[in-house]
Amino acid sequence: MAQFRVCPDSGFYFDKSAESLMKANAVAGAVFLLVAGFLGLGVILTRWQEVHLLPADVFYQVLTGHGINALIFWIIFFEIAILYFASSTLLRTRLAAPRWAWLGFALMIIGAVTNNIAVLQGNSSVMMTSYAPMQAAPHFYLGLILFAVGALIGCFVFLGTLVIARDDKTYEGSIPLVTFGALTACIIAIFTIASGAIILVPTFLWSVGYIGHIDAAMYRLIWWGLGHSSQQINVAAHVSVWYLIAGVLFGARPMSEKVSRSAFLLYILFLQLACAHHLLADPGLSSEWKVFNTSYAMYLAVLASMIHGLTVPGSVEVAQRAKGYTKGMFEWLRKAPWGNPVFSGFFFSLVIFGFIGGITGVVMGTEQINLIIHNTIYVPAHFHATVAVGTTLTFMALTYLLIPVLFRRALFLPWMAKWQPYVFSAGMTLMILFMLGAGTLGVSRRHWDMDFTGAALSFDYPGTAYTMMAVAGIGGVLAVLGGAMFLIVTVGSLLFGKKLDESAGLFQGFGVPLAPSAYTIEQPERLQMAPKLAVEQHGSGGMEAPGTFALALALLVCFVVYYFINWDYLASVWPLS
Amino acid sequence: MSSFLPPSERIWWKTPIGKEEILWIGIALVWCLIMFFMMPYWHIYGKQNLSNEAYQTTAPRFQARVDEMVAQYKIGEQAGIPIVKPPAGSDVYMLGRLWQWYPILELEKDQSYRLHLSSMDWNHGFSLQPVNINLQIIPGYEMVITVTPDQAGEFTVVCNEFCGIGHHLMLGKIYVKEN
């Protein structure tokens, strides 16, 4: 029989088996984040040319491990926890097939450990992308395959849970927006894992000698069906978490269910085309193919992200204005709980994801502009803005929420938690901006030595490039410090955090009251819908969220200016045809 | 009354959309279309486009073409690598292998060349510095681009796709001379 617990602070509903699985997945994710962050320190201290910490072989080994642990293991473990939360907790239902879910978890652990062992042994320093015909040890691929199978089981457990909730009628009408977003992530994840299977299974067979040849161009095409789409899982997942955090902290509701859900639908339809982003400078693919795919048909997935960029902070603004923060354009934002890491983490990730990650991503994903950016250090700068700040910082913010709600512990060292999003964001932003600059000067990614020591020929990057990499190094160290603060708070809370009793209030340490919108437990068998009083009110002439609209226009101006600056830069290089 | 609860309106898809959302969707859509049409526009009016010309090849076949060019047009050597000066407007070849770009090319300013690129072993990255043109070089594929150097001077080809422990040793040269 399923057993449930209602969190006395938030009113969130936990199925006992789902709760254990969420805890296990979140903790596993944090462990791999620790590994990834530690390896990341080695990477940035080597790219900082004046420090140049590691020898070449160790550097490439560490870089391989950093990429896989950060981009795949940490994030997907945490996303599985989010899927279980968005289904069983938000729909107040039991989790489907918990034994299968544990099997999936076990496979993911075995796979992740196997892959890490392969990298640690030193003969699989092939980067996360492992482009054939460069070959890793067989258990490098096997680890990834096992991990993917485990994650796929998690996806089906999520879908099964949705079915159970609908059959048991635990909610009325449509699933909540947050669950809808999680469903989007799940659908993209299944596509992603299918692409992964199509390319990694033959590559594994090739590494053990059963297949003679893997075409190098085909490998890149299908591998990026895995590699880029997996980042689109992250986008869908962290946008859902943004809506969740806005709902919990502010009682925010979507400005329009229709608009937000349509934007998620655009993700499902178009995001997967983005594997083309990595193939724009490749031979063998036509310009028509590149233009259509790199722009997600006609930038329809970018449109979706721009919509979320308005509606997520817009929903916060509407909720804040309803509470009386109506002065001027930005009182709602100034009076937001900036000392609460759940809010600051959420808001920084939103801004940096949009302004830096989003804009640079579209610019370098433009077919011709890619020529001046492909494989430079501009590329990792972009995806640190999207994944390390966008996704990872969002998940960190969510963790601060889950520690009291899911783990029933008070935050350990709340002052450190309070500052953590600031340190992490500042460090990451510094690193990202200066890596973007260095990339524009031609500094390459995945490169051990920008001095080219020992090469038969020689080349000197401009002095500015060295300065930029040094500042990026300082930013990177600061970001690792921010990551360490997160892990100290998290691990400290689980080990030493005060156990919360039944009457403890949420975020007592930050003085933030619980959102009034949280569940009541009056009707535990069926999920209460929002009161009818709060009907969406639109069309009254004025804007509900003028401050957010102004921010969105600021984003657009930056976007347009930066986009055309890059065309101008492209026009200055050698003519090609 | 929250994003994590089911919508309060059962028929939520009939609720009208707020003013700023409509406006923003309109603006964003227009911007997306502008960005989309910039790419075909640049194919017609811009000067920096990749050609669609590429062939499947093999390492020995491509190596033979390179060797033929080197034998015919070699004018010198640098660090043991031949310097080749093919005639303006001709087909020129450069191959990437662990860990060098071969051979060194000498080109004339403002002349067009059909540059053929391929790899003998793994993926390599053709990163022309300090111009900053970056191409992916894939084994088994021969990429052909028409390039018109419009600056004279010494240019370096850095490998910017990871290709093993000697990746940082992999440099090549293109010299562009005023005619």
pLDDT one-digit tens code per residue, A548-562 = 999 999 999 999 999
CATH of the domain at B93: 2.60.40.420
The verdict on pTM exceeding 0.95 is no
Residue B79 lies in a domain: yes
Q: Is the pLDDT of residue B1 over 80?
A: no
Structural domain total, chain B: 1
The rounded percent of chain A whose pLDDT value lies above 90 is 81
Question: What average pLDDT does range B138-160 have in this prediction?
Answer: 96
Taking a C-beta distance cutoff of 8 angstroms, is the pair A80, A154 a contact?
A: yes
**Residue of B137, B162, B165 with shortest CB distance to A57:** B165
Nearest-Cα distance to chain A for B66, in Å, is 19
What pLDDT is attached to residue A11? Answer: 79
What pLDDT is attached to residue B9? Answer: 82
Q: Where is pLDDT greater, at A548 or A511?
A: A548
Residue B141 lies in a domain: yes
Nearest-Cα distance to chain A for B152, in Å, is 11
Between CA A90 and CA A251 the distance in angstroms is 15
* Chain B residue with Cα closest to A440: B132
What is the identity of the amino acid at A497? G
Contact A215 B140 (CB under 8 A): yes
**A569's tokens:** 């830069």
Residue B63 lies in a domain: yes
What pLDDT is attached to residue A303? Answer: 93
Taking a C-beta distance cutoff of 8 angstroms, is the pair A497, A410 a contact?
A: yes
Question: What average pLDDT does range A25-51 have in this prediction?
Answer: 97
Q: Is the pLDDT of residue B43 over 90?
A: yes
Q: Is the pLDDT of residue A255 over 80?
A: yes
Q: Is the pLDDT of residue A77 over 90?
A: yes
Q: Is the pLDDT of residue A525 over 70?
A: no
The rounded percent of chain A whose pLDDT value lies above 70 is 92
Question: What average pLDDT does range B41-50 have in this prediction?
Answer: 95
Range(s) of the domain holding residue B145: 54-177
Question: What average pLDDT does range A122-137 have in this prediction?
Answer: 94
pLDDT digits (tens, 9 = 90+) for B51-61: 899 999 999 99
What pLDDT is attached to residue B15? Answer: 86
Between positions 107 and 146 of B, the ones with CB within 8 A of A are 117, 121-123, 125, 127-143, 145-146
Residue B135 β-bridge partners: B126
Q: How confident is the model at residue A48 (pLDDT cuts 50, 70, 90)?
A: very high
Residue B42 lies in a domain: no
Contacts of B25 in chain A (CB under 8 A): 259, 303, 307
**A220's tokens:** 């890149």
Range with lowest mean pLDDT among A164-168, A324-328, A500-504: A500-504
- Counting DSSP H helices and E strands in chain B, the numbers are 2, 12
Question: What average pLDDT does range A413-428 have in this prediction?
Answer: 96
pLDDT digits (tens, 9 = 90+) for B59-86: 999 999 999 999 999 999 999 999 999 9
Nearest-Cα distance to chain B for A536, in Å, is 7
Concatenating the DSSP letter of every residue in A446-484 gives: S-S-TT-TT-SS-----HHHHHHHHHHHHHHHHHHHHHH
Range with lowest mean pLDDT among A109-113, B14-18, B146-150: B14-18
Contact A216 B123 (CB under 8 A): yes
What pLDDT is attached to residue A378? Answer: 97
DSSP B143: E
Please, what's the largest Cα pairwise distance for chain A?
A: 77
What pLDDT is attached to residue A1? Answer: 54
Contact B130 A539 (CB under 8 A): no
* Chain B residue with Cα closest to A534: B1
Contact B48 A574 (CB under 8 A): yes
pLDDT digits (tens, 9 = 90+) for A134-190: 999 999 999 999 999 999 999 999 999 999 999 988 888 899 999 999 999 999 999
Residue B1 lies in a domain: no
Q: Where is pLDDT greater, at A531 or A569?
A: A569
Residue B153 lies in a domain: yes
**A428's tokens:** 């990451």
Q: Is the pLDDT of residue A62 over 90?
A: yes
What pLDDT is attached to residue A538? Answer: 42
Q: Is the pLDDT of residue A504 over 70?
A: no
What pLDDT is attached to residue A501? Answer: 67
Residue B10 lies in a domain: no
- Name the H helices within B46-124: 59-73
Residue B8 lies in a domain: no
What pLDDT is attached to residue B127? Answer: 97
Contacts of A342 (CB under 8 A, 6+ apart): A245, A248, A249, A397, A398, A400, A401, A507
Taking a C-beta distance cutoff of 8 angstroms, is the pair B23, A263 a contact?
A: no
What pLDDT is attached to residue A535? Answer: 41
Taken as a whole, chain A contains a residue count of: 577
What pLDDT is attached to residue A3? Answer: 78
Give the torsion through C-alpha atoms of A382, A388, A390, A393, to 10 deg: -160
Contact B5 A303 (CB under 8 A): no
- ipTM (interface pTM): 0.96
Mean of the per-residue pLDDT values of chain A? 90
Host H or E run for residue B125: strand B124-129
Q: Which of A30, A2, A3 is nearest to A402 (CA)?
A: A30
Taking a C-beta distance cutoff of 8 angstroms, is the pair A293, A276 a contact?
A: yes
pLDDT digits (tens, 9 = 90+) for A382-415: 999 999 999 999 999 999 999 988 998 889 999 9
Contacts of A128 (CB under 8 A, 6+ apart): A64, A67, A68, A71, A72, A227
Between CA A378 and CA A569 the distance in angstroms is 15
What pLDDT is attached to residue A274? Answer: 84
pLDDT digits (tens, 9 = 90+) for A467-484: 999 999 999 999 999 999
Question: CB distance from B2 to chain A under 8 Å?
Answer: yes
Question: What average pLDDT does range A22-43 have in this prediction?
Answer: 97
A189: how many CB neighbours lie within 10 A of its CB? 27
Concatenating the DSSP letter of every residue in A285-349 gives: S-HHHHHHHHTHHHHHHHHHHHHHHHHHHHHHHHHHHHTT--STTTHHHHTS-TT-HHHHHHHHH
Q: Is the pLDDT of residue A537 over 50?
A: no
Between CA A347 and CA A338 the distance in angstroms is 9
What pLDDT is attached to residue A297? Answer: 79
